[in-house]
Amino acid sequence: MSNLYVLVDFENVQPDLEVLADAPVNVRLFVGAKQQEQRHRYGLMKGLVALGGKVELVEITRSGSNAVDMHIAWYIGGLLEREPTARIHIISGDTDFDPLLEFLTARGVDCRRTKTIAELAPEKAHRVAAPRVPASRPATPRPAAPKQPRAARARAAAPPRSAAPPRTAAPSRAPTPDKLLPIVQKLRSMNGKPSNRVKLEQTLANYFKQHGGEQSAKEVDLAIDELLRRKLVTQDGKKLRYDLGS
């Protein structure tokens, strides 16, 4: 089976690495230059100890815009050159990785990005369950049909009248799902709409918390992906543009 490499953008997110202690993964922790001068929490040390030889620190020696991102992209290139079948999972909230991952996915590379590491925890690992086959029931003998009069048999034997072809409904634009409508209405009512994906994630997370309960980061990402898929929101680099109608 192909090796799974988890590349953590530690400058962007600081996940609990201890949850991967029993998972068959190889973790690469990319630490920015400024972060190396800071004191990190005790939980990070526990996670590193729990992972043992499955984790490797990649220290970035210089700081700068997208310095860590560029190192991760370079590392992916070298990794795929050594292991063309390697699977890659980036942990980061930075959407700048997405165009690269789409490029690699189109070329058959198994890669993805999530904001949290929880999906890779052993207890939440994807499992393929065997399909359930319903138990076969003994055949029940059909009762004999009552004998019909000759006139009824003649009517039954007559060829059926040709039915008029069903009317084909005119194609219509798929409606926005009901769960998405309140979000669209919320965004439509805002004067200063979120200018990038991170701000939009924060806006939707607060909205869910105030209307029906807090949602996971994955649910928020799915809602944003649906807005993008339906062109209600478009992304130009890091900037977001809105076409929510009236």
CATH number, position 106: 3.40.50
Q: Which of 124, 145, 172 is the last residue before a domain boundary?
A: 124
Rounded to whole angstroms, the Cα distance separating 41 from 97 reads: 27
pLDDT tens string for the chain (246 positions)? 788 999 888 888 887 777 787 788 888 888 887 777 666 665 666 677 777 777 887 888 777 777 888 999 999 999 999 999 999 999 988 888 999 999 999 999 999 999 888 777 654 444 333 344 444 555 555 656 556 566 556 566 556 565 555 555 544 444 445 677 888 888 888 888 888 888 888 888 888 877 777 778 888 888 888 888 888 888 888 888 888 876
Domain span including residue 60: 4-124
Q: Is 111 exposed, middle or buried (0-12, 13-18, 19+ CB in 10 A)?
A: buried
Q: What is the pLDDT of residue 102?
A: 92
The reply to whether 109 and 221 lie within a common domain is no
Q: What is the pLDDT of residue 182?
A: 81
pTM of the model: 0.46
52 inside domain = yes
159 inside domain = no
129 inside domain = no
The reply to whether 113 and 38 lie within a common domain is yes
The reply to whether 119 and 13 lie within a common domain is yes
Rounded to whole angstroms, the Cα distance separating 215 from 206 reads: 9
Residue carrying the six token digits 């997110």: 13
The reply to whether 116 and 203 lie within a common domain is no
173 inside domain = no
Q: What is the pLDDT of residue 121?
A: 61
Q: Which of 75, 106, 124 is the last residue before a domain boundary?
A: 124
82 inside domain = yes
Nearest to 20 by CA among 109, 149, 122, 104: 122
The reply to whether 93 and 204 lie within a common domain is no
Q: What is the pLDDT of residue 43?
A: 60
Q: What is the pLDDT of residue 185?
A: 82
The reply to whether 91 and 190 lie within a common domain is no
57 inside domain = yes
Q: What is the pLDDT of residue 228?
A: 86
The reply to whether 17 and 107 lie within a common domain is yes
162 inside domain = no
Contacts of 35 (CB under 8 A, 6+ apart): 10, 11
What is the 3-state secondary structure of the chain? CCCEEEEEECCCCCCCHHHHCCCCCEEEEEECCCHHHCCCCHHHHHHHHHHHHHEEEEECCCCCCCHHHHHHHHHHHHHHHHCCCCEEEEECCCHHHHHHHHHHHHCCCCEEEECCCHHHCHHHCCCCCCCCCCCCCCCCCCCCCCCCCHHHHHHHHCCCCCCCCCCCCCCCCCCCCCCCHHHHHHHHHCCCCCCCHHHHHHHHHHHHHHCCCCCCHHHHHHHHHHHHHCCCEEEECCEEEECCCC
Q: What is the pLDDT of residue 103?
A: 93
Assigned token pair, 224: 């944003």
The reply to whether 115 and 12 lie within a common domain is yes
80 inside domain = yes
The reply to whether 185 and 120 lie within a common domain is no
Q: Which of 77, 94, 124 is the last residue before a domain boundary?
A: 124
Structural domain total, the chain: 2
Q: What is the pLDDT of residue 157?
A: 59
